[in-house]
Structure 1
Amino acid sequence: MARGEDIVETLRSQLGVMYRWGGSSPSEGFDCSGLVAWAFGKAGISLPRTTYNMINQGASVPPNKLRPGDLVFFDTDRKRSGPDHVGVYIGGGKFIHAARTGQPVKISSLAEGYYMDRWMGGRRISGVSADPSSGGGEAAEVAPRLDAHELAETYGMSYAFFKSQPELMKLLNGAVADQWSPEKFQAKVKNSNWWKKNSETVRQAQVLQKTDPATYTATMAAARESAKQMAVKMGSVLSEKNVEKLAKNMVWYGWQEAQVANFLGQYVKFQENQTLGGMAGAAAKAIKAEAYRNGVSVTEQSVLNNAQYIVRGLTTMEKVQGSLREQAAGLYPAWAEQIKAGASVQDLAQPYVQAVAQELGVPPTDVDAFNPKVKAALNRVNAAGQPEPLSLNDFTVQLRNDPAWRRQPTVADQTLNIGKQVLRDMGLGF
């Protein structure tokens, strides 16, 4: 008959040995079933090599009846049904096992949330006994009583956290009084209002805040810095209060990029020189350029609003540009088809722009579709009341009736030359 305590001591000698898939010896490392089979083999007990077969050995043992040397099984791979991880109970609610790749043989608590969620069962192997003097045997099968602080730690939470949540503190007191099993405590916690009302990220943040204040402080500081950087990137102007608000939402509520952008878009504002920064600034520049191309006047407030909507993800630049083209088609109905097909109003206006520049002696760079004469020509309505642009010839004649045309040096020279010729024809030349 092998003693469970001796098997546990054999396993303790391997603490720190690194996990290795398929490993079954100290020299090569262990996987979970390899470690268990090796330790029991040292005690003269042969076990199947795999977890799936080990669980069929011995007799079932409930969690509150476990004693040193009993096997404990878990379902850690949710893609496959059945047990895929095994360890050996060592007493006090703990077990020893080869956890996973990258970790050494170690001791864990059955009360840890991860293992509580994945518990499959306990098995007592035939030929393994427990010495009453070491905490085994039928009279000593139940794990030693733990006080509130110890129980809190076995549940992966600090006593300080339980104290911060009156509802959970009441559960902890009940667990201390009756020495609840991990399964019972977990069920009680998951049925609490605290669990139901808070998301997973909120619960984790609350636990971290009380259980590991230093890590929580560092996490919040990193979130604040990230919030400031994203604000600059988006062109948002945040007060310290709003930086704190955003950082908390990121840590407590697990806000993703879309939620952060929606928040930041609300605080896109003009800077001192009436410009926008970051993504909002780029959006504003593109909106103004598209409005100019389409002969549409936009206010600074309209540009700001659209830039905010783009940053927040409530619209896209393509939609804003499409809206501007729709406005242009309405403003210049005679050219609606060309505009909808992709032509810009500024391009359509170029012949008229060149005519104004040539006839009135204005630099071409100073004339565009917003010029009153050009705009009127583009938006002319015929006798039937239908949109019909003024022909380029008629537009040229119209320009030459403008007093500004007569003041052109070339026009004055031409008029003087004509006058001289008339006088010469009358015999009055000089």
Structure 2
Amino acid sequence: MANGDDITNLARQFMGTPYVWGGADPSGFDCSGLVQYVYGKSGISVPRTTYNQIMIGASVGPDKLRPGDLVFFDTDRSKSGPDHVGIYIGGGKFIHAPRPGAGVKISSLSESYYMDRWMGGRRVPGVSASADPNAALDTTAPHLDANELAETYGMSYAFFKSQPELMKLLDGAVAGQWTPDKFGAEVKNSNWWKKNSESVRQAQVLQKTDPATYRAQMEAARVAAQKMAVQSGAVLSDKNVEKLAKNMVWYGWNESQVQNYLGGFIKFTEKGVLGGMAGQIAQAIKTEAYKNGVSVTKQSLLNNAQYVVRGLTTMEQITGSLRQQAAGLYPAFAEQIKAGASVQDLAQPYIQAYAQELGVPVTDVSVFSPKVKAALNRANAQGQPEAMSLTDFTQQLRNDPQWRRQPGVANQTMAVGRQVLQDMGLVAR
């Protein structure tokens, strides 16, 4: 078992040793090489690289560091994870091999460069606190309280630097040696805390404290936003996708809020159609309107599709509205329509008669055909709504010049006339 004081004293012997990339002996060290060499000479085996060294031992908060612990930093922002390591020597300081051109030296954790890049501390197995087992642990790192206080609420020093109001609080807390409770109370009393919701505060902290996770969340939100836009039939620009993704991450928008936003971007394509859910809604509205003999405009289809996507109305409500319109347009059948019958079904006898008498395909006839619509929507002699009888409707069709042009009608008429003349004895049988 080695003690921390012996390890730090051994490390001090290499002060000024030049930095050599990949170096792991007194002729030259890189940061992890110095750590491996010093611990090895102390009888403790540690991995060679910084990335592996941070995996050993137990995590130690900045306020609990003691001589012999390892301290890690992220000094290369282009790569994820720790890339620099040093040996804590007490008093808020650590010894390390910093970079090419600078030999092994002692630096302070309170330096803004290292505070901003702090990643964590590790306690290496096999290292005791002190040569004197009864000695108090070293907690003499007053300047480190900035990180300690920041981490009380899961915030990093980098986040505080991005918020001038909070950075001022942090500086005051360090200078006045505030307790974590006092510091927390001051943070909650800040304008930043009061003006931002919990989800916004969390997003802002995550953006600075764990940027990799923040970027991953934003990318996931962008993908989800684009997928929901396609499903809804919304046409979003890259800028609007970004705005929606941020609202999802920062403000915790739920599905209803997202759909309400997307509803404002429902548009017809260049081919004059609506896509996704909006297209399905528009088709359902057209079908329901056709069944009920109601005409709908293109703008009405767009508006209603937007309303349904945004959750401002439902297809059931739209169907009910179409039925009310149909009852008003065809008052003679108002009760049947209100009971659930479609105008198209009610008009079938007239449609069949029209097709048969005038010799047109039944698929070409509908409730919108002028003669059919007029027969359904008329008034009797007293001015009351009353549909034309099917007999009268058939006779009306036979008065149409088109009826006389039907194959066989002329022959049938001649045959009837001849029969009448024969019955009168005017022509021979």
Q: Considering the TM-score relative to the shorter chain, is it more than 0.5?
A: yes
- Displacement of 1:149 after TM fit? 4.8
Cα distance in 1 for residues equivalent to 2:190 and 2:232: 40
Report SS of the residue matched to 2:272.
Answer: coil
Aligned match of 1:12 = none
Name the counterpart of 1:198: 196
Instruction: Indicate the SS of the match to 2:408.
Output: helix
1:147 to 2:144 alignment: yes
Residue 202 of structure 1 aligns to which amino acid in structure 2? Answer: V
Could you tell me whether the CA contact under 8 Å between 1:152 and 1:162 is conserved in 2?
no
What is aligned with 1:74? none
Residues 273-332 of structure 1: CA deviation (Å, up to 9, x unaligned): 211111111111111110000000001110111011000000011000100001000100
Cα 1:179–1:370 shift into 2, 3 Å: same
How many residues are aligned here?
303
- Aligned match of 1:322: 320
Partner of 2:165: 167
Contact 1:151–1:176, Cα closer than 8 Å, also in 2: no
CA RMSD of superposed structures (Å): 2.5
- Determine the structure 2 residue equivalent to 1:226: 224
The match for 2:301 among 300, 303, 319 is: 303
Question: Structure 2 vs 1, CA of residues 405 and 92 (structure 1 numbering), >3 Å: closer, same or farther?
Answer: closer
Match of 2:356 among 354, 358, 364: 358
Alignment of 1:408 with 2:415, yes or no, is no
In 2, Cα distance between equivalents of 1:195 and 1:134:
42
Distance (whole Å) between structure 1 residues aligned to residue 405 and residue 418 of structure 2: 19
* Aligned position for 2:136: 135
Kindly state the Cα deviation for residue 94 of structure 1 after the two structures are TM-superposed.
5.1
Q: Which amino acid aligns with 1:321?
A: T
- Check the 8 A contact 1:91/1:143 in 2, yes or no: no
Alignment partner of 1:293 is 2:294: no
- Counterpart contact for 2:63–2:144, Cα < 8 Å: no
Q: Residue 150 of structure 1: SS of its match in structure 2?
A: helix
Does 1:214 find its partner at 2:205? no
2:330 equivalent among 313, 329, 332:
332
Identical residues among aligned pairs (%): 70
- Go from structure 1 to structure 2 and tell me whether the alpha carbon gap of 1:213 and 1:92 turns closer, same or farther (over 3 Å shift): closer
Amino acid in the other structure paired with 1:415: T
| TM-score calculated relative to the size of structure 2 | 0.66
With over 3 angstroms needed to count, the CA separation of the structure-2 counterparts of 1:192 and 1:348, relative to structure 1, is: same
The DSSP-based 3-state class of the residue aligned with 1:134 is: coil
Question: Which of residues 360, 373, 380 is equivalent to 2:371?
Answer: 373
1:39 matched residue in structure 2: none
Native 8 Å contact 1:421 1:429 kept in 2: no
For 1:284 and 1:226, the matched residues in 2 are separated by 24
CA distance in structure 1 between the partners assigned to 2:135 and 2:210 by the alignment: 35
Structure 1 portions without partners, runs of 5+: 1-89, 96-130
* Distance in 1 of aligned mates of 2:295 and 2:330: 13
Can you list the C-alpha shifts for 1:140-166, whole angstroms capped at 9, x where unaligned? 9x8741336533553322222111111
Question: Which AA in structure 2 matches 1:150?
Answer: N
